[in-house]
């Protein structure tokens, strides 16, 4: 099973700042099958990025994804108040796993 | 517009079973897989398993093998997740989520249900 480890566990930032979230896989995975989700309290997760770097429909361009192999990154260029949430990485394809999440807090 | 609506909150006693439904609308039900993901209070996302709604074939995460059963009713565009032998650690918010599927290869979870809270308490 592919284990995804996210870092940091919590990121404390202010609106307008840049957020950089990391996700490391226990073995190399195809970037075609890597995604990021955002979850706010009391809501289901929302797909942000698929295929490592493609924004899902309706996702603002301040969100960007990059990476390959075992190391992937989600960047939020300038944090808006609504971006403070928990972010999960996911690998999918023939198997699926989620990372443990990174909380972005004010 | 694709939409998933789950059944309401449940309170169960230890040892009992719970069955949660997930009704799909706005898309061809049998063209997508349906996954079940749970989230214990304050915790992360935990995959339970999925069903190919076209073929009925299921795949379960090892942790839940033998305790979870995922089914579907194509005439009602509804998927179900039944969890048996409940214990307090099963108290969680249970989500269904849709994904594309091609020959057992899963794609992103692009539509989610609102979640169903299951509380296990004596």
- Asked if B46 lies within 8 A of A98 by C-beta distance, the reply is yes
List the 51-70 stretch of A: residues with Cβ below 8 A of B: 56
Q: Which of A44, A52, A58 to probe by mutation at the B interface, max B CB count within 10 Å?
A: A44
Of B62, B68, B100, the residue nearest A92 (C-alpha): B100
- Asked if B112 lies within 8 A of A92 by C-beta distance, the reply is no
Contacts of B77 (CB under 8 A, 6+ apart): B23, B24, B25, B29
Distance CA B120, CA B122 (A): 7
Run of H or E including A30:
none
* HEC per residue, B12-80: ECCCCCEEEEEEEECCCHHHCEEEEEEECCCCCCEEEEEEECCCCCEEECHHHCCCEEEEEEHHHCEEE
Tell me if B45 sits within 8 A of B119, measured CB to CB: no
Residue A71, pLDDT score: 97
B97 touches chain A (CB under 8 A): yes
pLDDT at A72 over 90: yes
Residue A16, pLDDT score: 96
Q: Which of B109, B110, B111, B115 to probe by mutation at the A interface, max A CB count within 10 Å?
A: B109
Residue B113, pLDDT score: 98
Q: What is the pLDDT of residues B45-93, one digit of tens each?
A: 999 999 999 999 999 999 999 999 999 999 999 999 999 999 999 999 9
B117 touches chain A (CB under 8 A): no
Which residues from chain A sit within 8 angstroms of residue B107, using beta carbons?
A: 33, 50, 92
Count Cβ atoms below 10 Å from residue A11 Cβ, excluding itself.
Answer: 18
A1-18 mean pLDDT? 96
- First CA to last CA across chain B, in angstroms? 40
Q: What is the pLDDT of residues B98-113, one digit of tens each?
A: 998 888 888 899 999 9
A22-32 mean pLDDT? 95
Residue B102, pLDDT score: 86
B58 touches chain A (CB under 8 A): no
Residue B105, pLDDT score: 86
Selecting from A35, A94, A97 the residue whose C-beta is nearest the C-beta of B105 gives A94
Residue B16, pLDDT score: 98
Distance CA B39, CA B29 (A): 25
Distance from CA of B90 to the nearest CA of A (A): 18
Selecting from B37, B106, B109 the residue whose C-beta is nearest the C-beta of A93 gives B106
Distance CA A105, CA A86 (A): 9
Tell me if B98 sits within 8 A of B32, measured CB to CB: yes
pLDDT at B118 over 90: yes
Under the banding of pLDDT at 50, 70 and 90, the label for residue A106 is confident
Distance CA B71, CA B57 (A): 9
Q: What is the pLDDT of residues A28-59, one digit of tens each?
A: 999 999 999 999 999 999 999 999 999 999 99
Distance CA B75, CA B8 (A): 21
Residue B97, pLDDT score: 98
B41 touches chain A (CB under 8 A): no
Under the banding of pLDDT at 50, 70 and 90, the label for residue A26 is very high
Residue B55, pLDDT score: 94
Beta strands in A1-106 (DSSP E): 4-7, 10-12, 19-29, 34-39, 46-50, 54-55, 63-76, 86-91, 97-98, 102-105
- Asked if B99 lies within 8 A of A92 by C-beta distance, the reply is yes
Six-digit token string for A88? 């999960």
């Amino acid at each position: 099973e592919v284990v995804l480890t996210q870092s940091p566990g919590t990121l404390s930032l202010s609106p307008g700042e840049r957020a950089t979230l990391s996700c490391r896989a226990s073995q190399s995975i195809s970037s075609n099958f890597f995604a990021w989700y955002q979850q706010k309290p009391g809501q289901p997760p929302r797909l942000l990025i698929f295929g490592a770097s493609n924004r899902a429909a309706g996702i603002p361009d301040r969100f960007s994804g990059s990476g390959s192999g075992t190391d992937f990154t989600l960047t939020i260029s300038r944090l808006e108040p609504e971006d403070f949430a928990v972010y999960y990485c996911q690998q999918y394809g023939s198997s699926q796993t989620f990372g443990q999440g990174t909380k972005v807090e004010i | 517009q694709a939409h998933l609506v789950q059944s309401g909150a449940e309170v169960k006693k230890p040892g009992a079973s719970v069955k949660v439904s997930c009704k799909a609308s706005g898309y061809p039900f049998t063209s997508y897989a349906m996954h079940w993901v749970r989230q214990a209070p304050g915790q992360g996302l935990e995959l339970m398993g999925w069903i190919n709604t076209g073929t009925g074939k299921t795949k379960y995460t090892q942790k839940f093998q033998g305790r979870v059963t995922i089914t579907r009713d194509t005439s009602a565009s509804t998927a179900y997740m039944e969890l048996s032998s409940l214990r307090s650690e099963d108290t969680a918010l249970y989500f269904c989520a849709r994904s594309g599927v091609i020959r057992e290869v899963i794609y992103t979870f692009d539509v989610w249900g609102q979640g169903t809270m299951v509380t296990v308490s004596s």
